[in-house]
Each structure stands twice: as C-alpha cells, then as structure tokens.
C-alpha cells in the first residue's frame, strides 16, 4: 500500500502547513505569468504553437516538482496566449480581469464548494442567492425575483428558452420534461432579431424544436430590431396558425452592441402571451451607471434576463447568470433525486440544482461579490462610461479617416467599420497579418453581408492615444497590402 504521507503536500488543507504550501504554490503560479507576451499575443504561428505544446509530457510516470511544472507552463503556454489587458486586444468581448476577482479565484478553488446542493455549499448557496437577489432588484424585477449562476451567456439563454418551452407546454396541461413535446410544439416559434446571438438557435435545436423554430426579425440600419418588421412577422405567423412562445430582445448585440427597444417588444410579448427574454449579456452592466442605465428601459418587464459578469463586469471566465422574474418558474425544470434534491430538506434550504441545467458547479458568485465590494458602484460606473466614451472617440476618428468608414454608429463598446475600396479578402488579410505578427487581435465580421472590421473596447485603461495608434496601424497595413479593390 502506498504511504499517504507522500501526498500530504499535494492535497489542499487548511492547517498552517497546508496554507503555507498554498501560499508557496500561488507565488510560483504568479511568477509563471512573467513570460506573457509584450503585445496582445506572441508572434509564433499556429503550427509553431502546436509543435511547442506537443512537447508537454501531460502525465509522466513520475511526478515533476510543481515549481518546474509552472515554470514550463509559463514559457510554453502563457508566453503564447492572448493578453486581454493589452490595448491592441480589441477583437472580442474578452475583458481583462479585476484583481479582486482573480485573487478570490484561488480561495474558490481551494475551498471547492459544489453549488448543486445546500449541504455541499451552505454559505456559498446563500451568497449566490444574495447576489442574484441584488441583481434582480437592480434590474427592477418584482420582489422575490432571483436566478442561478451559469457558465456563460449561451448557457443562460438555453436555460431561459427551456423555461419558455416548459411554460408553453404547461399552458396545455403538459409536463414536457416528463412526457416530451406535445404535437402542438410543431407550431411553436421563438422570435429574435437578425443580430441576436446564435445561442437561441442552439437552444431550439437542443430543446427538440429545431433551429427553424427561431424566426429572425429584420433590423434597422442602426442594428435594432425593426418594430414594423416585428409586427409584420407576428401577423404572418398568426395567419399561418403558428404560436410565438418567446420573444427575445438583445441588450448589446455581439457585433454592433445595439440595444433593442425593449419596452415596445415587451408589450408585444404580453399581447401574444409569450415569454419575454432579454439577452443582456453585454449591456447588463449598464445598470450600474446612472448615465447609461436609461439605455436599458424595459429590462424590468422581462420574464428572464441573461447577464454575463465575464464581460463588462470584468470577471474571469466563467461567470454568467439567468435572472427570472417569477422564481417559481424554476419548478418547471426541477427533477427530484433520492440522493441530492429530495424535497424533504430542512426549512430554509435551497438546492440550486433545482434551478440549473448543471449539477456540480463552481462558486463563481464569490468572485463577483468580492469585486463589487472592493470597487464599489461608482468606480464600476465610471469604468463603463470611460469605455463608451472611448468607443465614441474611435468612431469619430474612423469618420475622419479618408480610408475607413463606419458601418453603424456605436451603441455601446463596439466600433464596426470597413475600408471603402477594399474587398472582404483584403480586410481578412489585414486582420490575419496583424494577428500573425502579434501586433493586434482585431475583430472581423459581416453586417448584413457587408465585410467589416471591429474594435471591441473592454479595457478601461485604454487611452485615446492607443486608439489613434490602432487606427494608424490598420490604415498603414491597408496602404501596404496592395489588396484587391472592390469591383
């Protein structure tokens, strides 16, 4: 039999010796980050990175000292990753992390609370419920509204559509989780804008409705759901004998960052007795700012709201939440189990597995609370307002440029533009060359078939000088490319 004393230093414990081992390991992990690239990413090619990682011996017969393992990971992994805090990392909704969140991650991992049942996470369960109750109140939802943490906006949207589907079935007297989809489900439709996140199609396919059940509504030139088009679509579906079970508004689309007219969409959802969901994964943080909060008018009318803390709340991945106005709706997906969520628990016990599509989950709520308490609302609001102002500055500089043109005026933290006279291949080449050389992680997308480049500003430390340099780098690259002209 193995001598368990050999493992004592490898298993986290909370006596003084164990805590000292944890401090020492944490220091070595921090030191491994000293090798991160000087720019937004290293200059190694995809093939070179593949070959480098292939040299890692994932599981040697005999273990290697932790310090040595961490040092090797520093030179082979962190040295060739992406640096979200670099001003030239502007492609995606990928934020730099807040220090309070990062240091709390160590405690979260060490304490290892499992958020599926109260007996595995008593205080942690109450912290998650406390955070989500606060967020529900901030949104303006009715008293008692609450939710659950998820792994991301996709998971939150899938959970929301699961509830919407179960609610539609319940109106027919059907327990869809028990007996499956009723015949009427073939007529069910989910409406969203043509700029909504693809997770809604993913949800429909997973829920047995099929992607064709998601009907997209045309958007205005600014990127908002077009209300006239929405009315036409609703009328057409009704004429065809189809039932809208959910209307989805987006508060911060992935590309343009646009916020749909939620008050008007909510009114139409109510008229059609449809679940009203708002995907506020991007702009939900605007609730913190008195200046930006009015942009979210109508959010308080939602049946459910997605908020991603790992976007404009600057949390490390993963940290999202689904907030539900009527918390009793979670009973639509609850499945009792003899060993976990029995239904005969002590008074006051909430087993969060009854609200989640996951079972075991991390205690991600803690890093959010740590960050909110450390920074405070005013600091967070000022950071958000700084990013919106920076985005507007970038748009103004694009408009001044003789080489670039805005695709649409910015709505939140995204600035989308193209280069008149250059085709989609030219824009792709510019984006990929800058990426390969490690000079910029630049966004590239299509808006209604129009190829475009994109700045997404997530770092509140980015300056207007940084923006000027980014634009100069792109225009210089276009000038030097000899790219094909548009026909």
- CATH code assigned at 221: 3.40.640.10
Residues 8-27: tens digit of each pLDDT: 888 999 999 999 999 999 99
Q: Write the pLDDT tens digit of every residue in 78-137.
A: 999 999 999 999 999 999 999 999 999 999 999 999 999 999 999 999 999 999 999 999
Same domain, 310 and 186: yes
Checking if the pLDDT of 194 tops 50, the result is yes
pLDDT given for residue 2 in this prediction: 62
Residue 272 lies in a domain: yes
Same structural domain, 163 and 202: yes
- Domain shared by 255 and 322, yes or no: yes
Whether residues 278 and 400 share a domain: the answer is no
Asked whether residue 166 falls in the same domain as residue 299, the answer is yes
* Within-domain flag for 464: yes
Whether residue 177 contacts residue 163, with contact meaning beta carbons closer than 8 Å, is answered with: no
Residue 342 pLDDT more than 90?
A: no
- pLDDT tens digits for 289-341? 999 999 999 999 999 999 999 999 999 999 999 999 999 999 988 888 878 88
Domain with residue 20: its CATH number is 1.20.1650
Task: Provide Rg for the chain, Cα atoms.
Answer: 24
Q: Is the pLDDT of residue 213 over 50?
A: yes
User: Does the pLDDT of residue 444 top 80, yes or no?
Assistant: yes
Q: Encoding tokens for residue 189?
A: 């439709």
Which residue has 């205080």 as its token pair? 123
Q: Does a structural domain hold residue 73?
A: yes
The residue-averaged pLDDT of 377-390 equals: 98
Q: Let me know whether 214 and 339 are in one domain.
A: yes
Indicate whether 277 belongs to any domain. Answer: yes
Mean pLDDT for the chain overall: 95
* 486 — pLDDT class (breaks 50, 70, 90): very low
Both 216 and 295 in a single domain? yes
Q: Does residue 238 belong to any structural domain of this protein?
A: yes
Are residues 432 and 399 both part of a single domain?
Answer: yes
Could you say which DSSP state residue 291 is in?
T
At residue 3, the pLDDT reads 67
- Domain end, chosen from 335, 362, 389, is at 362
**Residue 202 included in any domain:** yes
Number of domains within the chain: 3
Note whether 263 and 333 are same-domain residues: yes
Cβ(97)–Cβ(316) below 8 Å: yes
Task: Report how far residue 195's alpha carbon sits from residue 407's, in angstroms, rounded to the nearest whole number.
Answer: 14
What is the strand order of the sheet 405-406 is part of? 89-90, 441-447, 450-456, 414-418, 405-406
CATH classification of the domain holding 462: 3.90.1150.10
Segment 201-223 shows an average pLDDT of: 96
Q: Residue 341: its pLDDT value, please?
A: 81
Q: What is the mean predicted confidence (pLDDT) over 429-450?
A: 95
Q: Return the closest-CA partner of residue 340 out of 139, 119, 144.
A: 119
Q: Tell me the percentage of the chain whose pLDDT exceeds 90.
A: 91
Q: In this predicted structure, what is the pLDDT of residue 112?
A: 97
| Distance from C-alpha of 163 to C-alpha of 173, rounded to nearest angstrom | 15
Half-sphere exposure in the Cβ direction for 323 (13 Å, CA): 34
Residue found under tokens 């600035």 = 415
328-333 contacts at long range (C-beta below 8 A, 24 or more positions apart): 329/163, 329/167, 329/303, 330/148, 330/163, 330/354, 330/355, 332/163, 332/166, 332/167, 332/170, 332/177, 333/159, 333/162, 333/163, 333/166, 333/177, 333/357
pTM of the model: 0.95
Is residue 29's pLDDT more than 60?
A: yes
Q: How far is CA 393 from the centre of its chain?
A: 25
Could you give the C-alpha distances from 335 to 107, 330, 463, in angstroms and in order? 31, 10, 51
> Distance (Å, rounded) from C-alpha 121 to C-alpha 123?
6
Q: Has residue 3 been placed in a domain?
A: no
Say if residue 318 is preceded by a cis peptide, omega within 30 of 0: yes
User: Residue 467 domain-assigned?
Assistant: yes
- In the numeric block, the tokens 């939900």 are attached to 284
The reply to whether 389 and 249 lie within a common domain is: no
Decide which of 81, 103, 138 is a domain's last residue. Answer: 81
Element (H, E) at 49: helix 46-54
User: In this structure, are 75 and 136 located in the same domain?
Assistant: no
* pLDDT over 80 (residue 1): no
Q: How far is CA 289 from CA 131, 140, 294, 372, 378, in A?
A: 18, 14, 9, 13, 8
- Average pLDDT on 379-389 reads 98
Do 304 and 239 fall within a single domain? yes
Domain residue limits at 403: 378-481
6 has pLDDT over 80: no
| pLDDT score for 485 | 45
């Amino acid at each position: 039999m193995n001598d368990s004393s050999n493992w004592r230093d490898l298993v986290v414990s909370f006596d003084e010796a164990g805590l000292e081992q944890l401090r020492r390991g944490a220091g070595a992990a921090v030191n491994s980050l000293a090798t991160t690239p000087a720019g937004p990413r290293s200059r190694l090619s995809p093939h070179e990175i593949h070959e480098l990682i292939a040299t890692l011996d994932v599981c040697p017969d005999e273990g290697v000292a932790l310090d040595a393992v961490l040092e090797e990971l520093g030179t082979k992994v962190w040295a060739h990753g992406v640096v979200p805090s670099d001003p030239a990392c502007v492609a995606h909704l990928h934020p730099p992390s807040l220090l309070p969140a990062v240091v709390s991650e160590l405690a979260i991992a060490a304490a290892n609370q499992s958020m599926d049942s109260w007996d595995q996470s008593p205080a942690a369960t109450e912290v998650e419920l406390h955070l989500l109750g606060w967020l529900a109140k901030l949104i303006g939802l009715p008293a008692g509204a609450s939710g659950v943490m998820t792994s991301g906006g996709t998971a939150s949207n899938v959970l929301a559509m699961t509830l919407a589907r179960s609610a539609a079935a319940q109106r027919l007297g059907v327990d869809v989780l028990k007996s499956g989809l009723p015949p009427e489900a073939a007529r069910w439709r989910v409406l969203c804008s043509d700029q909504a996140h693809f997770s809604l199609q993913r949800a429909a396919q997973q829920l047995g409705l099929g992607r064709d059940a998601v009907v997209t509504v045309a958007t205005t030139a600014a990127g908002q759901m077009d209300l006239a088009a929405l009315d036409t679509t609703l009328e057409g579906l009704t004429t065809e004998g189809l039932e809208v079970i959910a209307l989805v508004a987006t508060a911060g689309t992935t590309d343009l960052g646009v916020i749909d007219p939620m008050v008007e969409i909510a009114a139409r959802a109510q008229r059609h007795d449809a679940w009203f969901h708002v995907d506020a994964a991007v702009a939900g943080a605007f609730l913190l700012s008195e200046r930006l909060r009015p942009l979210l008018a109508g959010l308080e009318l939602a049946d459910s709201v997605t908020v991603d803390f790992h976007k404009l709340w600057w949390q490390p991945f993963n940290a999202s939440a689904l907030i539900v106005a009527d918390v009793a709706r979670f009973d639509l997906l609850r499945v009792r189990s003899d060993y976990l969520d029995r239904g005969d628990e002590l008074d006051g016990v909430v087993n969060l597995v009854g609200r989640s599509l996951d079972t075991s989950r991390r205690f991600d709520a803690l890093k959010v609370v740590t960050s909110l308490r450390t920074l405070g609302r005013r600091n967070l609001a000022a950071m958000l307002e700084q990013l919106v102002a920076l985005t507007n500055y970038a748009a103004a500089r694009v408009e001044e440029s003789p080489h670039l043109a805005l695709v649409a005026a910015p709505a939140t933290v995204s600035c989308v533009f193209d280069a008149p006279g250059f085709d989609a291949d030219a824009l792709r080449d510019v984006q990929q060359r800058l990426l390969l050389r490690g000079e910029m992680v630049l966004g590239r997308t299509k808006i209604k078939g129009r190829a475009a480049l994109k700045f997404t500003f997530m770092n509140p430390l980015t300056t207007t000088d940084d923006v000027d340099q980014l634009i100069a780098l792109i225009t210089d690259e276009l000038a030097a490319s000899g790219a094909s002209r548009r026909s």
